[in-house]
Amino acid sequence: MLKTFMPEMKTGEELRDHQVKRLKWTVAHAYNGSPTYKEKMDDAGVKPGGIHSLDDLKRLPFTTSADLQEGYPFPLLSVPFDKVVRIHASSGTTGKRKVLCYTQKDIDDWTRFFARCYEMAQLSAEDRVQIAVGYGIWTAGISFQMGCEAFGAMAIPAGPGNLDMQCQFLMDFQSTVMCCTASMGLLMAEEVNRRGIRDKINLKKMIFGSERSSDAMKNRIRDLLGVEHMFDIPGMTELYGPGTGLDCIYHTGIHYWADYYILEILDPDTLDPVPEGETGEMVVTTLEKEGVPLIRYRTRDLTKMIPGQCPCGSILPRHDRILGRSDDMIIFRAVNIYPGQVDHVLSGVKGIGSEYQIILDRKEDGRDYMTLKVEQDQSFDQGNASALSRKIAGEIKKQIMVSVDVELVEYGFLPRSERKSKRVFDNRDNC
C-alpha cells in the first residue's frame, strides 16, 4: 500500500480553515521578506495583522506579470539568497522572462503535490512512467520525475521529441503511462499506428501538460492507442510549475490543490468575482510558497469553477480546462473569441479530425473575415464535404455568434508539432 499524498483535511470547512491560517502566514511572510510586496501592501493599506478571513483576500493588492518582469532577474524574492536552492524561468525574450526562485521546502512541497497527481490518476507502484517533456530551466520535466519517484512508480526520463526512441521505449520498457503535450500525444498515436506496434505496447494512461487538449484530439488518441484514461495537468512557472492539479478518473474537471493555493475566478475587466460556473481569469494566492509567494497573481488564464461534488468524493474543488488566455482573445467584428471556444464547438462535430487553424484577414472592403481550416477524419466521404462545412459554420454561428468560411482539408494536411500547435493566424494589419 502506497502512502497517500491527499490533503489531511476531511471537509470543505477544514480546508477553508487551513486556507485562512496559511493566508495569514503568506501575507506576513511576503510583507516581511519582499520590499516590493511591503510597498504594494502599504499602498493598499493592508497590514499582515489585518487578515482574519478569506473575505479579507479581496483587500489585498493584485500581482501581475509586470511585477515579475520589473524585478528581473529575481522578482518578489521573499527569502535571503542562502535559502534558494533552484530557479526556473519562463521562456521569452530578455525583459519578458520571469525567473522564479525555490527554497528546499518549495521543492519538497512541489514534489509532494506532484506525487498527488499520480495518486489522483490512480497509478500504482507497478506503473512505468515515460516522461516525454523537456528538462531544464524553461521546462520542469524534473518535477514529473521527482513526483513519480516520491509516489513510488518507475520514472523513465525520456525527454521530449524523438518519436523513434519513444516508440522503442514503449515496446522495450512496457511503459504504462506517458507524460507529454497533447500535440505530441497525437503524433505518438499516429506513429504507433503507422508502425503497427499497438499490440506490442502496454500504454494505459496519458498525462497531457502545457497546452489545451481538445476532446476531438483525445478521441483520436483513444481510437489509435486504446488508452484507458487521459488526464490534463495544469501548471505555470509562476505557481511552482506543472502539477498543481489533475482531473480524476471521472474526468469531471481538474481538481486543484486548494491546500497549496487559493483560486479566485474574476472578471478580467472589473476584477470582481464572476458568478460560480461562469468564465473568468484565474487569480492565484499561494499558501505555502517561501521563495516567491504569489498574492492575487493574475495568471491571464481563463477558466470556470465546476460547482457541486465530484463522484470521486474528493474535497478538492474543481476548475474546468483552461479555455484560453485573456491575451489570446481574438476580437473579430466586435465579438470576443477564445480559441478554446472553437475547440469546444469542433469537438462536438462528427466526421472531422482534431486539427484546425483559425485565419483572420482584412479584405478590401475593410471588413474582417475568418476562415476556419478543419481536417476531415480518415474515413471521410468527399460527397458530404459541403454539408459538413455548412454544419460546422452553423454550429460556430450558433454557439459563438460569428460567421466563418469553413475550408475542409484532407486528413494529415495541417502541420503537427511536438510542442504547442499554432492555431491562430492573424493577417489583419493594424492600419
**Beta carbon nearer to Zn ion, 104 or 309:** 309
Per rule CB under 5 A, count of chain residues that contact Zn ion: 5
Q: Which stretch binds Zn ion (CB under 5 A): 21-29, 183-191, 235-243, 250-258?
A: 250-258
**Beta carbon nearer to Zn ion, 238 or 320:** 320
Q: How far apart are CA 53 and CA 39, in angstroms?
A: 22
Closest Cα to residue 77, out of 40, 30, 114?
30
Q: How far apart are CA 373 and CA 406, in angstroms?
A: 6
Is the separation of the CB atoms in 29 and 293 below 8 Å? Answer: yes
Q: Which helix (DSSP H) or strand (DSSP E) does residue 143 occupy? A: helix 141-151
Q: Does 312 bind Zn ion (CB under 5 A)?
A: yes
Closest Cα to residue 351, out of 314, 319, 378?
378
Question: Which 281-310 residues touch Zn ion, going by CB under 5 A?
Answer: 310
Q: Which stretch binds Zn ion (CB under 5 A): 56-64, 111-119, 311-319, 389-397?
A: 311-319
Name the minimum Å distance from CB 260 to Zn ion.
17
Q: Which stretch binds Zn ion (CB under 5 A): 1-9, 68-76, 225-233, 245-253?
A: 245-253
Name the minimum Å distance from CB 189 to Zn ion.
25
**Beta carbon nearer to Zn ion, 107 or 312:** 312
**Beta carbon nearer to Zn ion, 121 or 170:** 121
> Is the alpha carbon torsion for 90, 92, 97, 99 positive or negative?
positive
**Beta carbon nearer to Zn ion, 253 or 293:** 253
Q: Does 121 bind Zn ion (CB under 5 A)?
A: no
Q: Convert residues 190-229 into a mask of x (bound to Zn ion by CB under 5 A) and - (unbound).
A: ----------------------------------------
Q: Does 254 bind Zn ion (CB under 5 A)?
A: no
Q: How far apart are CA 37 and CA 335, in angstroms?
A: 37
Q: How far is CA 32 from the centre of its chain?
A: 31
Name the minimum Å distance from CB 256 to Zn ion.
11
Q: Does 248 bind Zn ion (CB under 5 A)?
A: yes
Q: How far apart are CA 156 and CA 166, in angstroms?
A: 10
**Beta carbon nearer to Zn ion, 206 or 400:** 206
SS3 of residue 93 by DSSP: coil
Helices (H), ranges, 152-196 = 163-172, 182-195
Other Cβ atoms within 10 Å of 170 Cβ, number? 26
Question: Which 151-180 residues touch Zn ion, going by CB under 5 A?
Answer: none
SS3 of residue 324 by DSSP: strand
Residues that bind Zn ion in the complex, under the rule CB under 5 A: 248, 250, 310, 312, 314
